[in-house]
Amino acid sequence: MKVKEIAIIGAVVAAAAAVMLLKQSKQTDPVEALPKAADAASVAQAQALPRLVDLGAGKCIPCKMMKPILDDLMANYADTFKTEFVDVWENEAEGKKYGVKMIPTQIFFDAAGKELFRHEGFMSKEDILGKWKELGVNNVQRSTANAQR
């Protein structure tokens, strides 16, 4: 009986330590995580970009259809807006944080982090770029020309 009690206490202590470590890692300042060589101007520019967050899952069919689009946006429009993918099946807390009702969901944020537009379901590259243009992101056409070269 005593061995069982010791095992339970050990498990509780290990779980408490894991929770404390997770809380500490989440409190890390994101700016401190940037490379030390980055100058203040590049840090400010990186933080000042609008952002597209696509919430989906790796095994959802419309989400799989979005993957090459998101990869293209990340590669060819990184100087115009940030593109992020969140797998809500692997990270349920993020899905709840963004209030996701169905996947995929795309959320457009301005540079200050204010939500500008939300779309549920598959969204083509052309529709995404058109929405950014509609929302006033002016460099989309320039980036499109660069992507076609």
Q: What pLDDT shows up at residue 26?
A: 47
% of the chain exceeding 90 in pLDDT: 59
Tell me, yes or no, whether 27 lies in a domain: no
85 DSSP β-pair partners = 54
Tell me, yes or no, whether 26 lies in a domain: no
Tell me, yes or no, whether 24 lies in a domain: no
Task: Kindly state the average pLDDT of the residues 10-22.
Answer: 50
Tell me, yes or no, whether 111 lies in a domain: yes
**What's the CATH code of the domain at 66?**
3.40.30.10
Q: What pLDDT shows up at residue 117?
A: 97
Residue with structure tokens 């990184």?
78
**pLDDT 10s digits, 108-133:** 999 999 999 999 999 999 999 999 99
**How many domains does the structure of the chain reveal?**
1
Any alpha helices (H) in the chain, and if so which ranges?
2-26, 40-47, 61-76, 92-97, 125-134, 140-148
Predicted structure pTM score: 0.64
Tell me, yes or no, whether 91 lies in a domain: yes
Tell me, yes or no, whether 89 lies in a domain: yes
Tell me, yes or no, whether 13 lies in a domain: no
Instruction: Give the structural domain span for 59.
Output: 49-148
**pLDDT 10s digits, 32-53:** 444 444 444 444 545 689 999 9
Query: What distance in Å separates the CA atoms of residue 114 and residue 2, rounded to the nearest whole number?
Result: 55
Any alpha helices (H) in 33-136, and if so which ranges?
40-47, 61-76, 92-97, 125-134
Query: What distance in Å separates the CA atoms of residue 78 and residue 35, rounded to the nearest whole number?
Result: 18
Tell me, yes or no, whether 17 lies in a domain: no
**pLDDT 10s digits, 49-73:** 999 999 999 999 999 999 999 999 9
Q: What pLDDT shows up at residue 50?
A: 97
